[in-house]
Chain A
């Protein structure tokens, strides 16, 4: 089945530690996105990538980093510089970074601090 796979489903981070969230898609989509969702709130854009080897900061990029070396993969690293990382992280993709294409979402990774 085509879709977006995020792993792990739950992740725990120790103080001062970097952690990486995985996002893989087999939809052959060019564009991919990372969002953060806090309890009772909507989604905020962290980073997005419109094409391989290119990515742009979203509204809340500080303390996060990404790479886009392959079309199907867009991992997100939550660095120790992110002081409030506890949240639900959602990855999405769309056919293109422009145009009227809907975004499709994975099932999310919940990150907590130990």
Chain B
């Protein structure tokens, strides 16, 4: 059974510092991996989707890498801002599961001004 882990559960950094968020998964047979942002009491906003054949995806200050064989993904956020404060969740789509996603528990990020 696929399990997705995000460590640490919470992270606090000063404004301007680069953020590094980790995601690990136990079964490398995945179709894709998706990173989401969740603000308190809100739904999820999709940030980046990496196909299993890709090594990374970039969007503005965000860069996500994928190492399928080792079961790891990392989300980098450059030059963090207070507006980046949120919970970040990763989710994998296992190969044999249609479009069902398995989520990690999230990393709660606080960027201090």
Q: Which residues of A contact B (CB under 8 A)?
A: 4, 6, 31, 33, 35, 40-45, 48, 50, 58, 88, 90, 92, 94, 96-108, 110
Contacts and interface: CB of A to CB of B under 8 A. Distances in A.
Contacts, number: 69
A107 B45 CA distance: 10
A42 B100 contact: no
20 contacts: A4-B43, A31-B99, A40-B106, A42-B6, A43-B89, A44-B103, A45-B101, A50-B98, A94-B99, A97-B99, A98-B99, A100-B32, A100-B49, A100-B93, A102-B49, A103-B34, A105-B46, A107-B42, A108-B41, A108-B42
Given A100-B32, A101-B99, A42 B46 contact: no
A103 B89 contact: no
Of B98, B99, B105, most A-chain CB atoms within 10 Å: B99
Contacts of B4: 42
Given A33-B100, A48-B99, A98-B98, 9 more contacts: A4-B43, A41-B105, A42-B4, A43-B44, A96-B99, A98-B99, A101-B99, A103-B34, A103-B46
B71 interface: no
Contacts of B45: 105
A42 B104 contact: yes
A110 B41 contact: yes
A4 to B, nearest CB: 8
Contacts of A99: 99
Interface residues of B, number: 26
A31 B36 CA distance: 19
Per CB-CB distance, the 10 closest pairs between chain A and chain B, nearest first, are A42-B103, A105-B43, A105-B44, A43-B103, A107-B43, A42-B105, A102-B46, A102-B49, A97-B99, A108-B43
A105 B34 CA distance: 13
